[in-house]
Structure 1
Amino acid sequence: MASMVGRMSLTNSSKEQIALQSGNVLVELLRKKSRGRSAGLQALYNLQDAELNELAAATIATIANIVSNPGHWELASADKKGHSMQSKLIVPSLLSLLSIASPLCQVSILRILCGIASSPQAAVVDHIKSGDGIQCIIPYLEHSEVEQRVHAFRLTRLLSERFNQDLACELKLFDKLSLFKDKVLDNQSTDGERSDAACIVASLPLSDEEVEELFEPGFVRWIVITLKISSVVAPMEELCNLY
């Protein structure tokens, strides 16, 4: 069915009707590691509608604004069946939607995931991990757009605080450990990206050999220079505050 929907020429009204009747089934296919995943992805692409996309983008942005701050949203239902935003059903769905969402929606989804990952509930992070969350997020650490990268680095930092061992394994698997060192040294990157990258590196359980390989002389020099600058700037700021 999904394969057929992906190939059909549809009017906007037909797209809307199919989306309402089969949208949940197609999203469910994205979470399964099978041939149905690509068929579901193709079908969802074909069902996209400009007006509906604008409405969806506005809705997701509103949710992101709410979830970005701690509050009663953690107890609220995210669908008619009463599943919370942090449930095992909703979290993997958000991760699956990242790959097919518009750039604007991608930013909002990453913000929502950051809010969810900030929750003190341990099970929430497990839902991200079990939904191949790390694999889904890694491409956005190197995204061409700043906003995607900023939120991807923040999300990765939040995850590193909860399951650093799993994160380290995934990063080694995709040969991405050096990405964080390079980000810290990159003067063109935002302060937020560099700060989060440094926190991620600090939280990863690395062997002595990996530390030697990662923290080459250039990185050590940067740390020394940064510490020297900080030791000069801090007293100057204190002095300025006196006047």
Structure 2
Amino acid sequence: MVVYDGVSKFFPVRARPGREDSAELMVALDRINASVRKGELITLLGPSGCGKTTLLRLTAGLIVADEGRITIAGTPVTGPRKDACMVFQNFGLLPWRTVMGNVEFPLEIDGMGAAERRDRARDFIELVGLGAFAEHFPHELSGGMQQRVGIARALMRKPILIFMDEPFGALDAQTREQLQEDFLAIWSRTGATVVFVTHSIDEALILSDRIFVFETAPGRIRTVVESQVAAERLGGDVRAHPDFGKCRAELREMLRSEP
């Protein structure tokens, strides 16, 4: 589905005033080679500054690789795709629009008729459990409810790819756990491929088919870990799996130690 072929990204640092050509280059990503299978949910796990969000933004077509290439279903990534969507940590809701108004907004931009887009929006609002709040404004909702609105809005174009940049990072622990469970249930009904950025080991284990573990710097994927607890994600308690503690300890050790 998604293939990374020798992908590198550099950012300029410490340029002298008026001399942009004097800037040194910081390596954000260094020759990434990896692939994501159709329909799977993978997490990019690592500490702040390791390059995981940069890789997500490259995959989404928001920035361009300096070396190598990324393909989605065989097509090179050259910019944002209409069959993909992004969910950010900050909810990004329009405060003057209701839940319904926010969720239907992408298809309003696309020119879909009001009746058709509202019917679809209503379906996705129900899917994320906010049917009773369709006419509420963002300031009337909790943080978890606002993120549900963001997820419903992201699903409106029925994307084949969902990019998620620490979407639950700003939420309290209890709300975060609930949204993880809710998102897994929603994802299982969409068939979409998900690339999910997190720095939480527990979150990676709870959500993932596979975990891409990043080195600190420069940005490289140290290893790809197949989840040993994925079978418990839907309808089960991943944390109760007998291998959960062992997997968590192994991932923690990987993140703490240098290769």
What TM-score does the superposition give when structure 2 sets the normalisation length?
0.30
Between structure 1 and structure 2, the one with the greater Rg is 1
Kindly indicate whether structure 1 or structure 2 has the higher relative contact order, using CA contacts under 8 Å at least 6 residues apart: 2
Bigger helix share:
1
Bigger strand share:
2
What TM-score does the superposition give when structure 1 sets the normalisation length?
0.32
